[in-house]
Structure 1
Amino acid sequence: MARLVENPDLAFRLARAIVSDIALYNQDKVAEGIKEDSIFELMEEELAEGREHFYSRVSPDMTNRDHLFEKAIVDVMIKQAGKIESNIW
C-alpha cells in the first residue's frame, strides 16, 4: 500500500490534479453547471468520487484536508470557467 500524503502542499497539488481531471473529462457539464448556476448539483457524483480518491491518498490526520479539496474545486474548476456567461458573476 502506498504511503499517505502528509504534506499539505503535496496534498493540495494532488487535489488540483484530481479536480483538473474531473473538469477536463466533463467540460460540457462544467459549462452547463456554470451557466445554470447548478455546478455543484450537476457535478455532485464526479466531485464525490474525486473527493473519495483524494481522501484515500491523504492522511486523515492532516488539518484542513477538507478545505484543500474544496479550494482546488474553486481554483481549478470555478475560476477557470470565469469566461463562461453566467448570472453567477
Structure 2
Amino acid sequence: MARLVDNPELAFRLARAIISDIALYNQDKVREGIKNDNIFELLEEELQEGREHFHSRVSPDLSNRDHLYDRAVVDVMIRQAGKIESSIW
C-alpha cells in the first residue's frame, strides 16, 4: 500500500494536479459554467470524484485537507477562467 501524503505542500500540489486534469478534460463545461455562473453544478460529479481521489492519497490526519482541495479549485480552475466573459466578474 502506498504511503499517504502528510505534507501540506505536497498535498496542495496533488490537489492542483487533480484540478488541472479536471479543467483540461472539461474545458467546455468550465467555459459554460463560468459564463452562466453554474460551474459547481456542471462539474459537481467531476469535482467530487477528484476530491475522493485526493482523499485516497492524502492522510486524513492532515487538518486542512479539504481546504487545500477547495483552494486548488479556486487557484487552478476559477482563476484561470478569469478571461472568460461572465457576469460574475
Normalising to structure 1: TM-score of the pair?
Answer: 0.99
Secondary structure, aligned partner of 1:82: helix
How much is the aligned-residue C-alpha RMSD, in angstroms? 0.3
Between the aligned partners of 2:56 and 2:10, the Cα distance in structure 1 is 14
Give the match for residue 42 of structure 2.
Answer: 42
The 5-angstrom pairing of residues 1-89 of structure 1 reads 1-89=1-89
Between the aligned partners of 2:5 and 2:36, the Cα distance in structure 1 is 36
Identity of aligned residues (%): 81
Aligned residues: 89
Deviation at 1:62, TM superposition (A): 0.3
Deviation at 1:40, TM superposition (A): 0.3
Between the aligned partners of 1:88 and 1:63, the Cα distance in structure 2 is 31
Deviation at 1:53, TM superposition (A): 0.1
Gaps of 5+ in 2: none
Between the aligned partners of 2:6 and 2:36, the Cα distance in structure 1 is 37
Gaps of 5+ in 1: none
Normalising to structure 2: TM-score of the pair?
Answer: 0.99
